[in-house]
Amino acid sequence: MKPSPTPAARTGGQLIVDQLLTHGAELAFCVPGESYLPVLDALYAVRDRIRLITCRHENGAANMAEAYGKLTGKPGICLVTRGPGATNASIGVHTAFQDSTPMILLIGQVGTDFMEREAFQEIDYRRMFGPMSKWVAQIDRTDRIPEFIARAYQVATSGRMGPVVLALPEDVLSGTAQVADARPWQRVESAPSPEAIARLSQMLGEAQRPFLLAGGSGWNEAACAQLQRFAETQQIPVGCEFRSQDLFDNAHPNYAGDVGIGINPKLAERIKASDLLIVLGARLGEITTSGYGLIAGPVPAQRLVHIYPEAEELGRFYHADLMINATMPAMSSALAVLPKLTRVDVQTQASAANQDYRAWQERKQIPGKVQMWDVIQHLDRVLPPDVIVTNGAGNYTTWAHRFHRYRGFRTQLAPTSGAMGYGVPAGIAAKALYPDRTVISLAGDGCFLMTGQELATAVQYQLNVIIIVVNNNMYGTIRMHQEREYPARVHGTSLVNPDFAAYATAFGAHGELVETTEQFAPALDRALAAGKPALIEIRIDPEAITPNATLQSIREAARQGAR
């Protein structure tokens, strides 16, 4: 057997990029910095194989990488410089951690000869990112780059997916080494045992009021189809956790609605009254459980089956009757082939749950000249089923989450971490990955201006996302809570905004202003036909704080409660 040829000497920068190619990277997001110039130079040499999108802020770049990870199930790649670059990117890392999204953040670092002296922009990234990532490391030897990048891919994509952070000292990137490439990363699946499936089948057969709750990451299109087949065979109602509504077709007769902030009260009662709750992929955190009150804990009132890809998460708070450590594709595959096990009367429960969901979506009239229910309904009528809808955080998101129907896998991009500013960069990443699909990014006025400068990125790379800014001149969610807790003591929540349509035009995008419901449809038509990124500003009445309440009604209720 002939010995393997000695690898050619390569710089650390070349080794980083060669490993990204080995592991299938096709797209990366960055804000450039002198601390990782050797990597940028190596990316120049392969610019026909890895597309590099340069962003205007590290927050935007990190959120784009996180959105890529959500859409593909593969690690999104983000490159930033040391110090301020890394701290700016931390928002996207935190989102990836709480949303269990595979992502790799590569940070330039001071040279090893300067470390531990508080050199220019020096930070100990192990301490900084430790609580918000799956693994943080610093590559201190050029010849170990293939090892570290390979491990980063495996850690980011295995078990409960999440972000990995690697610091790259300057001298390691400029140094050379003769070392072989690693093998491409492999997706690792954990399957349920036959005993676990038998136990679940028994419990399902005994249940009178079963309910299935789906959520989390690690899904793919096939797994979602198998989930639907399972629900149809067993005829049980299905809910999706907060901002995971695209795991199950919202137009399906078994769909019961989303389980998160502002849950349908009838759906909440249905879950509380269930005698078997099958949780598939959701962590059962604070938002999904309405502050740990929707499901009693730590011992639930109903029988609980908790299926999750990370063993350490099982039993973290809720003591389930059956805990199954399995990935979503493996578990859905096992569930899809089960024979019908549920009782005859269960089918009527699925139908009733769906009727409750449809009633929850009925029209809501709000103060002012723009009716957001009509806006969302128009979007649903004219846009294709595979439209990708993105958003950040704020009360405006309720209109999409409650009234829009997500029809297919990964048609929703939204942060379960509640990070403002996510929607615009997520939409840009989605359009970069799927240029032929329609992408709508919803943002509030406060939310938009946190990452609105990325509109320049959309224009630069001709990524024709349509941004809808819902403007009520305030940080609306905080104002709502302020009125509930301290009625009429308004402080720190008001905003003075620019003309958002003019702002978009200044970047070279298309801008529209909507001040009445009737103006929206033609504005959307022009935005879709513009052939470039577009922004539609919708000015709504500040009183229209939620679909169910006005600021005045919230204030009066708080005053009455204080008496």
Which tens digits make up the pLDDT trace of 365-421? 999 999 999 999 999 999 999 999 999 999 999 999 999 999 999 999 999 998 999
pLDDT value at residue 406: 97
Strand pairing category for 27-30 and 466-471? unpaired
Domain covering 194-360 in this structure, CATH number:
3.40.50.1220
Model confidence at 344, pLDDT cuts 50, 70, 90, reads confident
Model confidence at 111, pLDDT cuts 50, 70, 90, reads confident
In percent, the amount of the chain with pLDDT more than 90 equals 94
Which tens digits make up the pLDDT trace of 219-250? 999 999 999 999 999 999 999 999 999 999 99
Bond from prior residue into 298 cis (ω within 30 degrees of 0): yes
Task: Tell me whether domains 194-360 and 372-562 share a fold.
Answer: yes
For the cut 90, the answer to whether the pLDDT of residue 118 exceeds it is no
Residue whose structure tokens are 């028994």: 202
pLDDT value at residue 2: 62
Domain layout of the chain by residue ranges: 10-177, 194-360, 372-562
For the cut 80, the answer to whether the pLDDT of residue 322 exceeds it is yes
Model confidence at 122, pLDDT cuts 50, 70, 90, reads confident
For the cut 90, the answer to whether the pLDDT of residue 159 exceeds it is yes
pLDDT value at residue 115: 67
Report the top-level CATH class of 372-562. Answer: alpha beta
- Centre a 10 Å sphere on the Cβ of residue 10 and count the other Cβ atoms it contains: 21
Q: Token digits for 375?
A: 């806006």
Which tens digits make up the pLDDT trace of 270-284? 999 999 999 999 999
pLDDT value at residue 321: 97
For the cut 70, the answer to whether the pLDDT of residue 358 exceeds it is yes
Please report, as a single letter, which amino acid is at residue 546. T
Model confidence at 346, pLDDT cuts 50, 70, 90, reads confident
Please report, as a single letter, which amino acid is at residue 480. M
Using an 8 Å Cβ cutoff, are 336 and 226 in contact?
yes
Domain 10-177 homologous superfamily, CATH: Thiamin diphosphate (ThDP)-binding fold, Pyr/PP domains (3.40.50.970)
Model confidence at 112, pLDDT cuts 50, 70, 90, reads confident
Q: Token digits for 406?
A: 């997500």
Residue-averaged pLDDT of the chain? 96
Which tens digits make up the pLDDT trace of 28-78? 999 999 999 999 999 999 999 999 999 999 999 999 999 999 999 999 999
For the cut 70, the answer to whether the pLDDT of residue 318 exceeds it is yes
Q: Token digits for 436?
A: 């032929």
Which tens digits make up the pLDDT trace of 466-497? 999 999 999 999 999 999 999 999 999 999 99
For the cut 80, the answer to whether the pLDDT of residue 458 exceeds it is yes
For the cut 60, the answer to whether the pLDDT of residue 1 exceeds it is no
Measured in residues, the chain has a length of 563
pLDDT value at residue 20: 98
For the cut 80, the answer to whether the pLDDT of residue 202 exceeds it is yes
Indicate the SS3 state at residue 178: coil
CA distance 437 to 152: 30
Which tens digits make up the pLDDT trace of 510-557? 999 999 999 999 999 999 999 999 999 999 999 999 999 999 999 999
Strand pairing category for 176-177 and 10-11? antiparallel
pLDDT value at residue 4: 66
